[in-house]
């Protein structure tokens, strides 16, 4: 059985390793588009800040890791697939035949269609190659504009601040990281950044980028401001890498639509990770989560389905995020924005940048978000995913949401007693 | 070195918080906590000051072993001049607050001045901030604790707080930490409230390093824990039954003060004993006692954690009391029970909860209610004062009513909040007040345990069992049995216990360790933690130095040998039951021997020679 | 009530039977060792006229090292005297605790 | 025979000797806030519950780690954080449904229980045997795992 995996990111590596675990005899080929060992985009900010070398971003540290496991890593970019002949065509026109195929091609950073976006010194921050360029250009005292205050934007703020650049963040939405924060929390993150000497413009759009004096750029906003910049970093969004699947007959929406076994609409083809539009645990809807834990879990589920068949359906993945914005740690889980008819418990301490917000449906935790919390944050996932009825603890959490760990433990213990009864 | 060498000075008048180096010379001479903080009080305040005025200072102090893994190394003390006794006050508490203060990097916090409006202090490591506490004022300790915990969004924060009793001027208000541990005696909570300081919230994540000899410390504290574990008292008796096991013991030996100390045995003792706490109740088949709980680092875990019978009249309509809280402990159970003649264990537990909830010293509260009951019996107090309540000995309803009124400082509760001495004076019967230096007695009748009479009368903070617990020897046989009815030799015993206790307190340890540990077990732990040589002899000398320093402070505050006294009842009215029948306290015989053993003058003053020998300040 | 009648056989073969009634109180962990007629920690028992404290302690299976506080009518009896007979008389209260403390 | 921490909350008195011992072993100082084992105090119920990593088979933390900084200790079976490889991204802290891997703001890395390499200091310090280090089969940890398994995305 030859399993071919297109991609070499976390979903691909997770899938490959699980396949080997489930069936040691299977033949596995992992197709890596970038000419470096499989690495993690999550780790790039730490490379940017200088904490680690490029090797520090590698998904597996032993150079022979994949070889030792019997996983073939082949460098090359897939240009199309042919489900009829069950083969993948590469950019160099060579083909690889597969029995089962996993599409784990991830996503690519996009650039908004505005004038000047393709000028020199306007970069994404997505690949290791991008990171090298940014390191080269973000010199102390230089003017840097960061377009987009989403996850990627926020997470590289610290490394940019550490490089002592004059930083301006421009965000279209009315708050930072709008995909994981309500306005209270998003505004607190903005205040924190401003407090750290970063200029943050929210509800602001870049209209155009023009060549300025020398090598500098001039960035014009919809508020009429022109800001000089030596470097513009574009972190406005990503798009699933699905272009090469055109004509394959695979159902594609925002990403490759997958069912509860990570199967696509075409037999023997699966998808996982940032490219996959899978089921969300909380809503039951299908969308691209593009987060590390989901990529890994996708890979694991896909591996099972590909090796053992469609045995266990996935209940979907809990959307969750953790973000470190210049030292301010935020998390969000599940339906952090709440659900219709649900209850909300919220504590705000703007002065000390502490925030916690719990969302309930009846007495079940369905979503949560926090600022400044580092201890036992995982229990938010635990409570959401086990959908445990909280009973009397619901009221206690409504009164004081910081008692989350206690609520979790009380539930775990009750479960424990039930099991032994 | 185990000290953080840093203290926090909080001036409530100016609203400033400043860091200062700890005076290490003094730390060498006075160790920490009780001794060291009193040294600061002596240096910085006028002993004649008004205890409730801005010139009094209040210190929360840890010892060098507070926050370490030494067993019981979690204690802290609150030190100030007492409004109840006008003498030095030092009240010791366990729980977790003291260790947390240390983990935040502070050996002690000195509060001075008085805030113009209610404030609370938050300490997060080096960051100390005063906050407005108008919303907390008027709230109980339990309510305020919840509000502060929510506000600071930190379940791990440790909070010390005063209740409504303190705000209302109850003279025996406690500082309650961790919801049910208290710096209970002498009205230290009253002083805190007089400064308009409602609470201290502390969170320490820095930790405590600085151990002088880490290897030796690990070895010696481990050995110490083994001694506690293997000792039958600290290894089995205290964890299983807690201090309350004494209820039957002291009753049996005929030294259980009953009905305002008129009698020495209580017919209802068994109903309010440790054994009774463990009996299943009729209503739900559960005992009042839930479990035993420990203070920080304590490997004994004597603390009782209990519930009240939900069908009991005191709480049947109050679900907020259907929870667990600390108690009953022996002294509290005695004062609220035998001393008031009440043998209803749920009533006692309820009133004890009120003491936790609103920060009252249960010993002083119970004793004061007992005195009020005697005043009521004689007609000096009538139902006109008590809202129609029959304040009779043995009435559980009256006890609960009186405690509620005192907790909130309402009506006759304000009179009760004055303490036994002032109450009895107000109603024309000072002889009914069972106090020394204005502080109420604990649970041992000096007629049945002679050494305790001397210990009470000479205690620097007024009648107290924790300043020289000769019960250990006279009743419990620790370290060796002496005859409780015999006054010979008690002067030396009292002095030794007093000095040892001062040293143990100042180290940051719990005095209960001394049921198993001798100073030979303790000194090596201090020695390994702290720079310099800390021998048994040095520890005892430090203890003696502290005792004499406190004595000199009290002298300057206006106290004399004449205050080393006992109520006439204990000196003149013989015990009427039990082994002590026919006996009175032989204080007059013991006191001169004690003064001599102390190296004091015949009228109880520290001599210049003793002052010199101990290197006392001033 | 548990009968604690003992028969003493003199060297000449004469049989003597005599006992008295006392109150036995076993506290704390020792409470479980009381006879079933005990109420809370108190039982009325019959003991031999010249019973020693140790003989009573042993017959109720109180380990001697746990008979720490031993009081007759509230007065402590030291270990050395516990083998001595004649300390008890009719109606006395014998109270025993394991090592305990408090305060 | 692999061993596991066995926790019996009924025996716990809440003294925090375990937290002190853990911090001393791992941080070199007494600092319960940095302990990998945490005792929760259910005050109103009069209950103390020590809580730490169960070294679960699923190892969500390890699987979620983007840089391979969490590895299985072959000797003890514990999942250990390699501090020099951890970049401090905290993904493991949200992935672990037990909440037993935590970010240490002072080191910028995550920390979790590693069984002290096979001689857990918490068990050694516990005065009441509420925490013991025993044969893995005897622990009842499987019950805690069963609870956690409800979290698993039906992949095991």
* A255-275 core/surface letters (b: 16 or more CB in 10 A; e: else): bbbbbbbbbbebeebbbbbbb
Nearest CA to CA, how far is D25 from chain B (Å)?
A: 11
Is B395 touching D (CB cutoff 8 A)? no
Contact D30 B298 (CB under 8 A): no
CA distances from A84 to A7, A81, A255, A377 (A): 21, 9, 22, 47
Contacts of B485 (CB under 8 A, 6+ apart): B448, B450, B579, B580, B583
Tell how far CA B493 is from the center of its chain: 21
Give B446-614's CATH code, choosing from 3.40.50.150, 1.10.599.10, 3.50.7.10, 3.40.50.720: 1.10.599.10
d(CA D14, CA D130): 10
Is B149 touching A (CB cutoff 8 A)? yes
Beta bridge partner(s), residue B7: B20, B108
Question: Residue A406: its chain B contacts at CB < 8 A?
Answer: 155
Domain boundaries, chain C: 7-97
* ipTM of this predicted structure: 0.94
Region B153-172 average pLDDT: 96
Contact D29 B207 (CB under 8 A): yes
Does the pLDDT at position A414 exceed 80? no
Interface D:A, ≥3 CB–CB pairs < 8 Å: yes
Contact C40 B275 (CB under 8 A): yes
Under DSSP, the state recorded for C66 is G
> Tens digits of per-residue pLDDT, A160-179?
888 899 999 999 999 999 99
Does the pLDDT at position A314 exceed 80? yes
Region B54-76 average pLDDT: 98
Nearest CA to CA, how far is A278 from chain D (Å)?
A: 13
Is C33 touching B (CB cutoff 8 A)? no
Interface C:A, ≥3 CB–CB pairs < 8 Å: no
Is B150 touching A (CB cutoff 8 A)? yes
Q: Note whether residue D65 is domain-resident.
A: yes
Beta bridge partner(s), residue A228: A218
Contact D146 A415 (CB under 8 A): yes
Is there a shared CATH topology between the B244-439 domain and the B446-614 domain?
Answer: no
Question: Residue D30: its chain B contacts at CB < 8 A?
Answer: 67-69, 103, 207-209
> Tens digits of per-residue pLDDT, B582-610?
999 999 999 999 999 999 999 999 999 99
Q: Note whether residue D130 is domain-resident.
A: yes
Give the pLDDT band of residue C2 (cuts 50, 70, 90). Answer: very low
Question: Residue D45: its chain B contacts at CB < 8 A?
Answer: 290, 323-324
Give pLDDT, residue D151.
55
Domain boundaries, chain B: 6-203, 244-439, 446-614
* Mutate which: A348, A352, A374, A405, vs B, most B CBs within 10 A: A352
> Tens digits of per-residue pLDDT, B530-554?
999 999 999 999 999 999 999 999 9
Q: Note whether residue D92 is domain-resident.
A: yes
- Domain count of the fold of chain D: 1
Residue B313 backbone zone (phi > 0: left; psi -120 to 50: alpha; other: beta)? alpha
Phi, psi (deg, nearest 5) at residue A379: -65, -20
d(CA B421, CA B434): 8
* B250-286 core/surface letters (b: 16 or more CB in 10 A; e: else): bbbbbbbbbbbbbbbbbebbbbbbbbbbbeebeeeee
Tell how far CA B303 is from the center of its chain: 14
Give pLDDT, residue C3.
43
CA distances from A26 to A65, A67, B86 (A): 17, 14, 86
Region A22-43 average pLDDT: 92
Q: Note whether residue D156 is domain-resident.
A: no
Of the candidates C62, C75, C54, the residue with the CA atom closest to the CA atom of residue C34: C62
Q: In CATH, what number does C7-97 get?
A: 3.10.20.30
H helical segments located in B31-167: 33-44, 97-103, 141-152, 164-167
Give pLDDT, residue B33.
98
Helices (H) and strands (E) in chain C, counts: 1, 7
d(CA C84, CA C54): 8
Contact B477 C69 (CB under 8 A): yes
Does the pLDDT at position B421 exceed 50? yes
Is C27 touching B (CB cutoff 8 A)? yes
Nearest CA to CA, how far is A33 from chain D (Å)?
A: 18
Contact B150 A400 (CB under 8 A): yes
> Tens digits of per-residue pLDDT, D88-126?
999 999 999 999 999 999 999 999 999 999 999 999 999
Q: List all chains that touch chain B, counting a touch as 3 or more CB pairs closer than 8 Å.
A: A, C, D
Q: Note whether residue D98 is domain-resident.
A: yes
Question: Residue B465: its chain C contacts at CB < 8 A?
Answer: 103
> Tens digits of per-residue pLDDT, B254-269?
999 999 999 999 999 9
Is C43 touching B (CB cutoff 8 A)? no
Nearest CA to CA, how far is D21 from chain A (Å)?
A: 19
Nearest CA to CA, how far is B186 from chain D (Å)?
A: 27
| Inter-residue contact B498 to B468 (CB < 8 Å) | yes
| Inter-residue contact B525 to B217 (CB < 8 Å) | yes
| Inter-residue contact B181 to B95 (CB < 8 Å) | yes
**pLDDT mean across residues, chain D:** 90
| A-B contacts at Cβ under 8 angstroms | 26
Question: Residue A399: its chain B contacts at CB < 8 A?
Answer: 146, 150
Is B305 touching D (CB cutoff 8 A)? yes
User: Can you read off the two tokens belonging to residue B106?
Assistant: 């502070």
Question: Residue B154: its chain D contacts at CB < 8 A?
Answer: none
Could you give all domains of chain A from N- to C-terminal order, each with its CATH number?
A: 2-108+239-308 (3.50.50.60), 122-234 (3.50.50.60), 327-420 (3.30.390.30)
Give the pLDDT band of residue A421 (cuts 50, 70, 90). Answer: very low
Q: Note whether residue D155 is domain-resident.
A: no
| Inter-residue contact A28 to A5 (CB < 8 Å) | yes
Give B244-439's CATH code, choosing from 1.10.10.10, 1.10.1740.10, 1.10.569.10, 3.40.50.300: 1.10.569.10
- Residue D36 CB coordination number (10 Å): 25
Contact D15 B307 (CB under 8 A): no
> Tens digits of per-residue pLDDT, B83-105?
999 999 999 999 999 999 999 99
**pLDDT mean across residues, chain A:** 93
Question: Residue A16: its chain D contacts at CB < 8 A?
Answer: none
**CATH code of the domain covering residue D143:** 3.30.70.20
Give the pLDDT band of residue C1 (cuts 50, 70, 90). Answer: very low
Q: Helix, strand, coil: what percent of chain C each, to 5?
A: 20, 35, 45
> Tens digits of per-residue pLDDT, B455-483?
999 999 999 999 999 999 999 999 999 99
Contact C74 B254 (CB under 8 A): yes
* Mutate which: D95, D108, D142, vs A, most A CBs within 10 A: D95
Give the pLDDT band of residue D11 (cuts 50, 70, 90). Answer: very high
Give pLDDT, residue B284.
95
Give B6-203's CATH code, choosing from 3.60.9.10, 3.20.20.70, 3.20.20.60, 3.50.50.60: 3.60.9.10
| Inter-residue contact A315 to A29 (CB < 8 Å) | no
Give the pLDDT band of residue D153 (cuts 50, 70, 90). Answer: very low
């Amino acid at each position: 059985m030859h399993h071919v995996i297109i991609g070499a990111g976390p979903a691909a590596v997770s899938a490959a390793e699980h396949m080997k675990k489930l069936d040691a005899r299977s033949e596995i080929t992992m197709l890596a588009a970038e000419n470096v060992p499989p690495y993690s985009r999550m780790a790039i900010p730490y490379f940017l800040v200088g904490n680690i070398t490029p090797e520090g971003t590698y998904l597996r540290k032993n150079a022979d890791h994949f070889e030792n496991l019997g996983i073939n890593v082949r460098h090359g970019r897939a240009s199309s697939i042919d489900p009829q002949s069950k083969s993948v065509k590469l950019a160099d026109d060579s083909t690889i035949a597969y029995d089962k195929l996993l599409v784990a091609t991830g996503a690519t950073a996009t650039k908004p269609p505005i004038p000047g976006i393709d000028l020199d010194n306007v970069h994404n921050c997505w690949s290791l190659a991008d990171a090298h360029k940014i390191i080269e250009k973000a010199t102390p005292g230089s003017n840097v504009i960061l377009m987009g205050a989403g996850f990627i934007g926020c997470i590289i703020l610290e490394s940019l601040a550490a490089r002592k650049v004059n930083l301006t963040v421009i965000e279209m939405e009315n708050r930072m990281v709008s995909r994981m924060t309500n306005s209270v929390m998003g505004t607190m993150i903005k205040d924190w950044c401003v407090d750290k000497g970063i200029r943050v413009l929210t509800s602001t759009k870049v209209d155009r980028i023009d060549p300025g004096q020398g090598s500098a750029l001039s960035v014009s906003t919809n508020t009429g401001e022109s800001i000089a910049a030596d470097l513009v970093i574009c972190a406005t969004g990503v798009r699933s890498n699905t272009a090469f699947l055109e004509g394959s007959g695979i159902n594609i929406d925002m990403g490759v639509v997958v069912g509860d076994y990570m199967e696509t609409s075409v037999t023997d083809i699966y998808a996982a990770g940032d490219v996959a539009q899978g089921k969300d645990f909380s809503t039951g809807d299908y969308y691209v989560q593009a987060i590390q834990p989901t990529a890994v879990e996708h890979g694991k589920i896909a591996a099972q389905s590909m090796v053992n068949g469609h045995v266990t359906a996935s209940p979907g993945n809990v959307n969750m995020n953790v973000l470190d914005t210049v030292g301010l740690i935020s998390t969000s889980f599940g339906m952090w924005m709440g659900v219709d008819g649900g209850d909300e418990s919220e504590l705000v301490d703007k002065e000390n940048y502490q925030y916690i917000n719990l969302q309930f449906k009846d007495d079940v935790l369905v979503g949560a978000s926090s600022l400044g919390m580092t201890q036992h944050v995982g229990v938010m996932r635990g409570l959401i995913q086990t959908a445990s009825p909280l009973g009397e603890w619901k009221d206690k959490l409504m009164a004081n949401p910081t008692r989350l760990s206690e609520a979790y433990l009380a539930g775990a213990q009750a479960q424990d007693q039930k099991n032994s009864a | 070195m185990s000290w953080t060498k840093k203290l926090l000075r909080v001036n409530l008048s100016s609203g400033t918080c400043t860091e200062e180096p700890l005076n290490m010379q003094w730390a060498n001479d006075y160790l920490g906590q009780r001794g060291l903080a009193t040294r600061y009080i002596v240096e910085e305040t006028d002993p004649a000051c008004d205890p409730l005025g801005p010139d009094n200072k209040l210190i929360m102090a840890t010892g060098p072993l507070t926050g370490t893994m030494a067993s019981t190394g979690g204690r802290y003390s609150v030190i100030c001049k007492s409004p109840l006794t006008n003498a030095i006050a030092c009240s010791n508490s366990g729980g977790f607050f003291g260790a947390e203060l240390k983990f935040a990097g502070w050996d002690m916090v000195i509060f001075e001045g008085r805030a113009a409006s209610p404030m609370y202090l938050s300490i997060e490591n080096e960051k100390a901030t005063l906050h407005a506490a108008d919303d907390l004022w008027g709230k109980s300790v339990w309510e305020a604790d919840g509000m502060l915990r929510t506000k600071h969004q930190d379940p791990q924060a440790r909070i010390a707080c005063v209740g409504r009793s303190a705000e209302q001027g109850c003279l025996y208000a406690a500082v309650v930490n961790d919801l049910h541990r208290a710096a209970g005696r002498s009205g230290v909570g009253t002083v805190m409230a007089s400064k308009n300081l409602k609470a201290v919230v502390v969170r320490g994540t820095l930790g405590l390093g600085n151990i002088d000899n880490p290897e030796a410390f690990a070895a010696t504290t481990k050995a110490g824990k083994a001694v506690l574990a293997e000792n039958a008292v600290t290894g089995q008796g205290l964890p299983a039954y807690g201090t309350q096991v004494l209820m039957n013991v002291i009753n049996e030996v005929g030294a259980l003060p009953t009905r305002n100390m008129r009698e020495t045995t209580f017919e209802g003792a068994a109903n309010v004993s440790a054994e009774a706490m463990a009996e299943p109740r009729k209503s739900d088949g559960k005992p009042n006692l839930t479990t035993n709980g420990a203070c920080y680092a304590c490997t004994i875990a004597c603390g009782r954690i209990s519930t009240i019978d939900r069908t009991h009249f005191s709480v049947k309509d109050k679900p907020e009391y259907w929870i667990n809280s600390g108690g009953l402990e022996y002294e509290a159970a005695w004062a609220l029970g035998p001393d008031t003649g009440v043998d209803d264990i749920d009533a006692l537990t309820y009133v004890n909860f009120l003491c936790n909830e609103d920060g009252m010293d249960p010993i002083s509260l119970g004793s004061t209610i007992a005195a009020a009951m005697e005043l009521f019996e004689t007609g000096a107090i009538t139902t006109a004062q008590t809202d129609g309540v029959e304040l009779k000995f043995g009435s559980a309803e009256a006890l609960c009513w009186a405690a509620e009124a005192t907790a909130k400082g309402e009506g006759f509760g304000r009179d009760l909040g004055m303490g036994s001495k002032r109450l009895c004076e107000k109603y024309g019967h000072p002889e009914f007040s069972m106090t020394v230096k204005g502080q109420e007695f604990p649970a041992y009748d000096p007629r049945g345990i002679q050494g305790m009479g001397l210990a009470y009368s000479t205690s620097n903070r007024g009648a107290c069992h924790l300043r020289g617990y000769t019960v250990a020897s006279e009743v419990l046989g620790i370290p060796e049995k002496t005859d409780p009815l015999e006054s010979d030799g008690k002067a030396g015993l009292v002095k030794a216990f007093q000095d040892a206790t001062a040293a143990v307190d100042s180290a940051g340890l719990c005095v209960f360790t001394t049921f198993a540990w001798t100073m030979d077990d303790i000194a090596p732990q201090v020695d390994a933690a702290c720079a310099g040589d800390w021998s048994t002899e040095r520890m005892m000398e430090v203890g003696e130095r502290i005792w004499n320093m406190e004595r000199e402070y009290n002298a300057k505050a206006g106290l004399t040998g004449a205050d080393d006294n006992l109520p006439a009842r204990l000196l003149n009215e013989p015990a009427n039951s039990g082994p002590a029948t026919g006996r009175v306290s032989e204080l007059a015989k013991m006191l001169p021997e004690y003064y001599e053993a102390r190296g004091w003058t015949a009228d109880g003053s520290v001599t210049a020679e003793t002052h010199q020998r101990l290197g006392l300040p001033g | 009530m548990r009968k604690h009648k003992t028969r003493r056989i003199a060297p000449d073969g004469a049989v003597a039977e005599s006992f008295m009634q006392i109150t036995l109180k076993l506290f704390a962990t020792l409470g479980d060792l009381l006879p079933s007629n005990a109420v809370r920690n108190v039982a009325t028992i019959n003991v031999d006229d010249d019973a020693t404290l140790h003989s009573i302690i042993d017959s109720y299976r109180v380990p001697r090292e746990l008979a720490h506080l031993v009081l007759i009518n509230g007065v402590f009896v030291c270990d050395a005297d516990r083998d001595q007979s004649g300390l008890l008389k009719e109606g006395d209260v014998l109270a025993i605790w394991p090592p305990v403390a408090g305060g | 025979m692999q061993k596991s921490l066995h926790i019996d909350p009924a025996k716990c008195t809440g003294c925090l000797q375990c937290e002190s011992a853990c911090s001393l072993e791992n941080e070199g100082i007494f600092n319960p806030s940095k302990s990998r084992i945490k005792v929760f105090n259910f005050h109103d119920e009069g209950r103390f519950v020590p809580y730490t990593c169960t070294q679960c088979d699923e190892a969500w933390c390890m699987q979620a780690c983007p840089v391979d900084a969490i590895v299985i200790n072959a000797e003890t079976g514990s999942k250990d954080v390699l501090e020099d490889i951890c970049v401090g991204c905290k993904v493991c802290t949200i992935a672990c449904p037990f909440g037993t891997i935590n970010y240490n703001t002072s080191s910028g890395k995550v920390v979790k229980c590693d069984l002290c390499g096979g001689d857990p200091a918490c068990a050694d310090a516990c005065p009441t045997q509420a925490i013991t280090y025993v044969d893995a089969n005897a622990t009842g940890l499987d019950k805690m795992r069963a609870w956690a398994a409800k979290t698993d995305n039906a992949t095991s």
